[in-house]
């Protein structure tokens, strides 16, 4: 798992994550009601089957609540962003959005 980008010579399959949003929702009285964190997860693989297998493993987080690497998560949601084949690198990509509510 790597942040932001996948170097050309990286072994596959591999995951790349990018922070998309990190915010706190305010209540009408100005107090913080919830914290929200969104991460895009890109799964890169040599075969479509590898990419889909890792997607299914990542989807196990959907509906999760509890301790996640020391963070108390109120709810985790996963949604699919896109699937593609990169003709230049001959790699498959499945892109997911992971939303964490605290």
Helix (H) or strand (E) holding 50: helix 48-58
In angstroms, the CA 18 to CA 97 distance is: 10
Rounded mean pLDDT of 22-26? 72
All structural domains of the chain, each given as residue ranges with its CATH number in brackets, are 2-101 (3.30.2000.10)
What are 37-77's pLDDT values in tens digits? 899 999 999 999 999 999 999 999 999 999 988 989 999 99
43 burial type by CB count under 10 A (0-12 exposed, 13-18 middle, 19+ buried): buried
- pTM score, whole prediction: 0.80
């Amino acid at each position: 798992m790597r942040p932001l980008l996948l170097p050309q010579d990286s072994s596959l399959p591999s995951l790349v994550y990018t922070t998309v949003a990190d915010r706190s929702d305010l209540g009408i009285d100005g107090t913080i009601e919830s914290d929200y964190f969104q991460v895009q997860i890109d799964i890169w693989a040599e075969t479509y089957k590898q990419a889909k297998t890792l997607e299914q493993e990542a989807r196990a987080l959907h509906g999760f609540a509890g301790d996640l690497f020391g963070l108390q998560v109120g709810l985790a949601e996963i949604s699919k962003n896109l699937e593609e084949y990169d003709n230049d690198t001959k790699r498959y990509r499945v892109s997911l959005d992971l939303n964490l509510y605290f």
